[in-house]
């Protein structure tokens, strides 16, 4: 995809690997912004809200547990 594919579409570029999970390395964080790490996500009510809360919850889990496994990917719902 291209950045222009998202413009005016109503969809956000949703990170599959969240940028906030890679703050320990500037290079790793920058790599999360490649379009190959993006999937279209509804912005208001999902990507900016529910999904954001889920990402924050996962980060909290990493403070409680040594190992936290996250599986992510796009889901096509016709």
State the sign of the Cα–Cα–Cα–Cα dihedral 52, 34, 69, 67: negative
Whether 15 is a known active-site residue: answer yes
Q: What is the pTM of this model?
A: 0.80
Residue spans of the domains in the chain: they are: 3-64
Q: Which residues are annotated as a binding site for Mg(2+)?
A: 47
**Mind listing the pLDDT tens digit of every residue in the chain (78 residues)?**
899 999 999 999 999 999 999 999 999 999 999 999 999 999 888 889 999 999 999 999 999 999 999 999 998 888
Distance, in Å, from the CA atom of 75 to the CA atom of 78, rounded to the nearest integer, reads 10
């Amino acid at each position: 995809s291209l950045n222009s594919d998202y413009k005016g579409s109503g969809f956000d570029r949703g990170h599959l690997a969240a940028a906030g999970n890679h703050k320990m390395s500037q290079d790793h964080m920058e790599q999360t912004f490649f379009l190959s790490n993006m999937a279209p996500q509804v912005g208001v009510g999902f990507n900016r809200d529910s999904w954001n809360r889920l990402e924050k919850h996962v980060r909290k889990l990493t403070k409680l547990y040594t190992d936290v496994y996250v599986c992510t990917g796009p889901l096509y719902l016709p």
